[in-house]
Every structure is written in structure tokens, then in C-alpha cells.
């Protein structure tokens, strides 16, 4: 089968998308961000419910949220917990091995050994400054929505990342923010009906940073023809 140019372009955008963990301070135009979100909203959703709500953080509010979450992150006595389980309560193979591998692959690039707990803690804390990206995004969903709407939300998030990549921008989706949903609710003045889904960094990748050379593996036996 001969690939068309359109297929090649789409495949390249999908294959080149990666989670970037170091960004340049280069600003991203607001109309560019708006266009990315508008085109991403063409994602399918059950009965066209469109369950996504998007908060784009730039400047002072972004800095305020980062400062408040980092303070909690660095406080050994803080007791913030996730509002929902992103990861399984009990890990099984092969998921545990995959999770460990990406963690150690990243820390190895950064020169962080297993004994360097402070270094790993600091690296995890970079989530909360959006890895220095000029744009931070927080996504929420109405509490009445059920599991199907979360599936819809995933397609919307993927659309954002691909639309950004097609424009020369990079992203990092971040479940780390869910632990601090209480701080996010207060800082962004969310309604009681809103639940934090995740965060996302958006900007231009800093290609000089070694962490951005990380390329994760993908399974080779995920398809079964029956």
C-alpha cells in the first residue's frame, strides 16, 4: 500500500509527539493557544456532551499556582491526596515494569541514582512549574460525568497535543497535579462541581536539555487479529 502525503504527515505528527520536560521561555501567542483548543474540541464525545473545561494559565496566576503547590510539595508534613486513582491500587505485570523503566530511564539521564531521593523529589517538583513552559493548562470535568466522559476527555487531550505538535509546539500531560486539587480549586476559584482531571505544559522544547532526549518504548504485541 502506498502512503499518501496526508497519511505521512499525520503519522509523523503522532509518532513525534513526546512528553517534554524542559521548555524554553519563548511565549506562545494567545490566538495560537485558542486555535489549538478549538480544533481539539472536534474530538468525539458521547451524545456530543463535550465534558472538557480548560483553564489556560499565563503569567501571575500560573506563578501563584506553582508557588503554592511547590510549597506543599516541599512540606514533609503536607497531607494532600489525589481525588481519584489515576494509577492502579495494586500494580501487576507488565505495567509495573513499564512504569519502573521510564522512571529509571529518566533519572539515569539526569544522573540521579536510586539513593538520591532529594534529587528525585526536586525533579518531580518540576511538574508544578510546568517544566518552565510559558503556558500551563489545567483541565477539569463536572462531577456528574461518568467513565465514558473520561474516555471522551482522553481523545480531547490527545487532540490538543497533536494540534500543538503540528504547529511546532510541544506538551507534557501531567497527572501529578491531581494530588493538589484542593490548592487548584482555591487558586482558580473552581466550582464545587468541578474535578481536576490533569494539567499540561505547553511551549517550545528546550532541545539542549538531556531529559528531552528520552524516547519511551511501546509494546509490540498489542494487536490480535481474531
pLDDT of residue 21: 98
Model pLDDT for residues 155-164, shown as the tens digit of each residue: 999 999 999 9
Whole domain around residue 42: which residue ranges? 18-86+127-213
Give this prediction's pTM. Answer: 0.96
222 found inside a domain: no
Residue 170 placed within a domain: yes
Spatial neighbors of 156 by CB under 8 A, at least 6 apart, are 40, 41, 43, 45, 52
- pLDDT beyond 80 at 221: no
Alpha-carbon distance 191 to 188, whole Å? Answer: 9
When pLDDT is cut at 50, 70 and 90, the band that residue 180 belongs to is: very high
* Residue 214: strand, helix, or coil: coil
Confidence bin at 53 (pLDDT 50/70/90): very high
Q: How many CB atoms lie within 10 A of CB 212?
A: 19
Mean pLDDT of the residues in the chain: 96
Mean pLDDT value of segment 139-143: 98
Q: Give the CATH number for residue 205.
A: 3.40.109.10
Establish if 176 belongs to a structural domain: yes
Residue 118 lies in a domain: no
Handedness of CA 117, 23, 100, 102 (dihedral sign): negative
Question: 66 lies in a domain?
Answer: yes
* Closest by CA position to 69, among listed 13, 127, 119, 21: 127
Question: From CA 40, how far away is CA 145, in angstroms rounded?
Answer: 20
Number of compact structural domains in the chain: 1
pLDDT at 2: 84
Examine residue 109 and state whether it is found in any structural domain, yes or no: no
Domain membership of residue 218 (yes or no) is: no
Looking at the domain assignment, is residue 224 inside a domain? no
Amino acid at each position: 500500500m502506498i502512503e499518501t502525503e496526508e497519511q505521512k504527515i499525520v503519522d509523523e505528527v503522532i509518532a513525534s509527539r513526546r512528553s517534554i520536560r524542559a521548555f524554553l521561555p519563548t511565549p506562545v501567542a494567545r490566538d495560537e493557544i485558542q486555535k489549538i483548543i478549538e480544533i481539539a474540541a472536534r474530538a468525539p464525545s458521547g451524545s456530543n456532551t463535550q465534558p472538557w473545561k480548560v483553564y489556560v494559565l499565563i503569567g501571575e496566576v500560573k506563578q501563584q499556582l506553582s508557588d503554592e503547590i511547590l510549597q506543599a510539595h516541599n512540606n514533609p508534613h503536607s497531607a494532600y491526596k489525589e481525588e481519584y486513582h489515576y494509577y492502579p491500587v495494586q500494580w501487576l505485570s507488565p505495567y509495573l515494569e513499564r512504569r519502573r523503566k521510564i522512571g529509571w530511564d529518566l533519572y539515569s539521564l539526569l544522573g540521579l541514582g536510586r539513593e538520591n531521593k532529594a534529587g528525585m523529589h526536586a525533579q518531580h517538583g518540576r511538574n508544578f512549574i510546568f517544566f518552565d513552559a510559558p503556558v500551563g493548562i489545567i483541565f477539569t470535568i463536572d462531577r456528574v460525568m461518568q467513565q465514558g466522559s473520561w474516555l471522551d476527555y482522553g481523545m480531547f487531550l490527545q487532540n490538543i497535543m497533536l494540534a500543538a505538535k503540528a504547529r511546532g509546539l510541544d506538551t507534557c500531560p501531567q497527572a501529578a497535579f491531581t494530588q493538589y486539587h484542593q490548592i487548584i480549586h482555591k487558586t482558580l476559584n473552581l466550582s464545587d462541581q468541578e474535578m481536576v482531571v490533569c494539567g499540561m505544559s505547553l511551549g517550545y522544547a528546550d532541545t539542549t536539555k538531556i531529559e528531552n532526549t528520552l524516547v519511551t518504548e511501546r509494546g509490540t504485541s498489542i494487536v490480535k487479529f481474531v
